[in-house]
Amino acid sequence: MQAVFLPGEKKEDYLLGEPANDDRFIGVFAHELEHSGGYTPKDARNVASTLLPDILSYDPRKPVCYPHNGRTLTDDVADLFFSLYANKNVTDKVGPHDDLLSEFPYLGPPHRDRLTQTFN
């Protein structure tokens, strides 16, 4: 999602780059966060450092918690991302899945599109 908020040329560089090099965009993303969420420059850099690099790290010795340590199937990642971006609670009013299975593959059946009745 981060690429959406990067300006033209920076966006292309970001999309073509390796996540290991994402820290080069922390300043650009922090600047955007200052304007979108009213963050101080220091806080904006801290939030940008949380969101970049755009990888999902996981340490099995720690509790699972997005964005700091992996994510669960019920984490509402979009709401969390946009809340960080805006520096306030934001919701897309689409909650996490509640049709999970208790055993592998854990994901419930695919959802049908309300209009076309095809599976998404």
- Name which residue leads in pLDDT, 118 or 90: 90
Separation of alpha carbons 3 and 9, rounded Å: 11
Q: How far apart are CA 48 and CA 28, in angstroms?
A: 9
Is residue 50 within 8 Å of 84, Cβ to Cβ?
yes
Residue type, 41: P
Model's pTM, two decimal places? 0.74
Write out pLDDT tens, residues 51-109: 888 888 899 999 998 888 999 888 888 898 899 999 999 999 887 777 888 888 888 87
Tokens of 10: 């920076």
pLDDT at residue 49 in the model: 92
In residues, how long is the chain? 120
Within 8 A by CB and 6+ apart from 79, the residues are: 90, 91, 92
The encoded tokens of residue 46 equal 């801290």
